[in-house]
Amino acid sequence: SYKLTQPLSVSVALGQTATITCGADNIGNEDVHWYQQKPGQAPVVVIYRNTNRPSGIPERFSGSISGNTATLTIGGAQGSDESVYFCQLWDRSSKHILFGGGTTLTVL
């Protein structure tokens, strides 16, 4: 079973690029989804299947995956991007849904 590890917090200057990682052994073999959660709200998917952006999500959100790390990148971070971000995958063998511990993004 996977254990998804995220940094507790990431800070980025306004307009700069933020990267949030999600690590696990052999995560590169899976499909990782990323969610944005604002205070008091339900999570919203911002990247699905590692690299795909749902309609309505700004182009500054992108994803990648390689080896033991999935990465969410926010290019040109805005104040509205301040949120908690979670990675998630569906473990094919156990059929369980797994979440990372969440990363709080602060835009300075």
Partner 1 sequence: QVTFKESGPALVKPTQTLTLTCTLSGLSVSTSGMRVTWIRQPPGKALEWLARIDWDDEEFYTTSLRTRLAISKDTSRNQVVLTMTNMDPMDTGTYYCARMNPQPGRLFDLDIWGQGTMVSVSS
Our finding on whether 49 is near partner 1 (CB under 8 A) is: yes
For tokens 């990431």, the residue is 10
From 12-20, 21-29, 65-73, 92-100, give the range in contact with partner 1 by CB under 8 A: 92-100
Question: What angle is formed at CA 17 by the lines to CA 43 and CA 60, rounded to 5 degrees?
Answer: 55
Which C-beta is closer to partner 1: that of 41 or that of 59?
Answer: 41
Binding residue (CB under 8 A) for partner 1 from 43, 74, 77, 85? 43
Tell me the one-letter amino acid at 91.
D
Which C-beta is closer to partner 1: that of 9 or that of 16?
Answer: 9
* Shortest distance (Å) from residue 28 CB to partner 1: 15
Rg (CA), the chain: 13
Q: Exposed, middle or buried: residue 32 (CB in 10 Å: 0-12, 13-18, 19+)?
A: buried
Our finding on whether 45 is near partner 1 (CB under 8 A) is: yes
Number of residues that bind partner 1 (CB under 8 A): 23
Question: What angle is formed at CA 47 by the lines to CA 2 and CA 15, rounded to 5 degrees?
Answer: 115
Chain residues in the site for partner 1 (CB under 8 A): 31, 33, 35, 41-45, 48-49, 54, 86, 88, 90, 94-102
